[in-house]
């Protein structure tokens, strides 16, 4: 099993981003959006044709975002989760700093 850190590309004061990555040979888009009311990050899973696979999904520390979609062939077979040193959900200041998004491959 490999663990890959996914860098969330945000510009200063930007509260949303769309980026495509390839994980276990499957191309998928991540749309991250921050809500100031809750100070939480949400994620949309985007197919290569820009169709929404799932979302909004609240980013919670240590929770596998892909689990409910593991049988969808458009979703990589591994685990996607966020983790921070204080085990708290990522906030506006931590998603690209202390809180990281990781993909754990299940492909041997």
The DSSP string of 52-80 is EEEEEEE--BT--SSGGGTT-TTS-SSEE
53 pLDDT higher than 90: yes
CB count within 10 Å of CB 24 equals 14
* Separation CA 34–CA 32 (nearest Å): 7
Q: Where are the domains of the chain?
A: 3-104
- pLDDT, position 88: 58
Query: Could you report the per-residue pLDDT of 6-44, keeping only the tens digit for each?
Result: 877 766 666 778 889 999 999 999 998 888 788 788 899
Strand partners, 30: 19, 45
pLDDT of 16 reads: 76
């Amino acid at each position: 099993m490999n663990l890959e850190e996914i860098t969330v590309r945000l510009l200063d004061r930007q509260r949303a981003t769309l980026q495509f990555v390839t994980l276990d040979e499957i191309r998928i888009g991540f749309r991250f959006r921050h809500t100031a009311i809750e100070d939480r990050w949400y994620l949309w899973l985007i197919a290569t044709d820009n169709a929404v696979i799932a979302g909004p999904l609240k980013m919670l520390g240590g929770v596998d975002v892909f689990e409910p979609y593991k049988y969808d062939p458009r979703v990589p077979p591994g685990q996607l989760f966020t983790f921070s040193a204080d085990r708290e959900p990522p906030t506006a200041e931590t998603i690209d700093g202390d809180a990281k998004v990781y993909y754990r491959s299940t492909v041997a």
